[in-house]
A and B are shown apart, each in its own frame.
Chain A
Amino acid sequence: EAGVAQSPRYKIIEKRQSVAFWCNPISGHATLYWYQQILGQGPKLLIQFQNNGVVDDSQLPKDRFSAERLKGVDSTLKIQPAKLEDSAVYLCASSSFGTPRSYEQYFGPGTRLTVT
């Protein structure tokens, strides 16, 4: 089965510019997560979707970050405007829902963002 796809893999922007990341989860996975991983730290959950509804966005900086999953499949995460501290790897993960393996999250390769 195909894994979680993310694009782009790398992005370099200047501060105050905007950027968008795309994620396509594993087929049939209803739950989708976006994580931010700063160098040397573990991933931090930004937002969790269940189909096209938001389950948890308590750690999403809503003044500059937004995310959507309009058709309950792929998702985009946007930053506008970017700050230097947004430099990180943005990871997308997905999991099934209501199945015996709903506990297992599958992660994509991530997008490495550098803000200069």
Chain B
Amino acid sequence: ELKVEQNPLFLSMQEGKNYTIYCNYSTTSDRLYWYRQDPGKSLESLFVLLSNGAVKQEGRLMASLDTKARLSTLHITAAVHDLSATYFCAVDIWRDDKIIFGKGTRLHILP
């Protein structure tokens, strides 16, 4: 059974600081997804990583995938308050028709 673990589950940080959210998964896969959820809202797709070594960046967020380590990271550079949200990673196993989500990392950025 595929398990997806995120850490930390909660992160409070100051504006301007850098930090990394980690996503570990238990079964071989080379497809990983990052989503953002604002309070009271639905999920929005951020990144789709489809191969070992894949790196994607948008603004102050950068995601990477190491399929050999079964690890993805979401790096936040010089955090700003607008990035406060819950971030979910998810992994799929091809032909399983679904993706498995981590529990989410609630990010609170203090002004």
Q: Do A and B come from one complex?
A: no
